[in-house]
């Protein structure tokens, strides 16, 4: 009987550390992400360790998994990755910290700890996709934080990329998300 590669991988009793290493291997990363998500909270120690991995793809993969199996013990590592030199790491760390939709029973972890770094990324990050993610991440806090409102207004007026300005436009006064989320 002929087995395809994914069937063979299903038979390998891979430990969590190996799964984390596979996040950097293009033809194994999807499998590793799926398995780490299935492990849930049991994978958190390995994911926390992976947030410090020298390979940026491992960090990205860990952020993707933590977006779904978030644990407060990973907060410092995710916040540290907001300063990583690779823009994909910064983008996914922001997403893991901010996306309520992906998390099961958890919402916007430690918002007060991530607003200042997210504002800095929105206003000063050289990469458009990081600034765009920061705008979307900050938006839901616009009614609770005058600093967030000012940052979104500034980026809406002056960011050099139309996609960033567009996301900001949703969250400034008069924007659709601003109006829909009024307290």
The number of domains in the chain is: 2
Q: What is the pLDDT of residue 1?
A: 45
Give every residue of the chain whose pLDDT is below 70, as ranges.
Answer: 1-14, 99-110
Residue ending a domain, among 109, 144, 159, is 109
Q: What is the pLDDT of residue 105?
A: 46
Name the residue among 24, 20, 65 with its Cα closest to residue 41: 65
Q: What is the pLDDT of residue 112?
A: 80
Residues 97 and 165 in one domain: no
Handedness of CA 154, 157, 161, 167 (dihedral sign): positive
Residues 8 and 37 in one domain: yes
111-124 vs 128-138: helix crossing angle, rounded to 10 = 140
Please report where in the chains the tokens 């809406």 appear, as a residue. 156
Residues 12 and 66 in one domain: yes
**Whole-number Å distance between alpha carbons of 36 and 180:** 36
Contact 139, 167 (CB under 8 A): yes
């Amino acid at each position: 009987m002929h087995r395809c590669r994914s069937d063979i991988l299903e038979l390998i009793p891979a430990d969590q550390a190996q799964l984390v290493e596979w996040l950097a291997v293009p033809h194994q990363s999807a499998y590793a992400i799926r398995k780490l998500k299935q492990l849930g909270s049991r994978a958190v120690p390995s994911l926390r360790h992976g947030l410090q991995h020298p390979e940026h793809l491992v960090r990205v993969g860990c952020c993707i998994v933590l977006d779904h199996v978030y644990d407060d013990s990973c907060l410092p590592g995710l916040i540290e990755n907001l300063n990583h030199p690779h823009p994909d790491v910064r983008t996914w760390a922001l997403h893991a910290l901010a996306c309520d939709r992906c998390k099961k029973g958890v919402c916007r972890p430690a918002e007060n700890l991530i607003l200042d770094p997210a504002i800095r990324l929105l206003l000063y990050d050289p990469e458009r996709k990081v600034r765009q993610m920061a705008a979307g991440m900050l938006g839901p806090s616009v009614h609770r934080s005058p600093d967030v409102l000012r940052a979104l207004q500034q980026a809406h007026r002056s960011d050099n990329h139309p996609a960033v300005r567009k996301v900001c436009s949703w969250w400034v006064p008069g924007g659709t998300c601003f109006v829909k989320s009024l307290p």
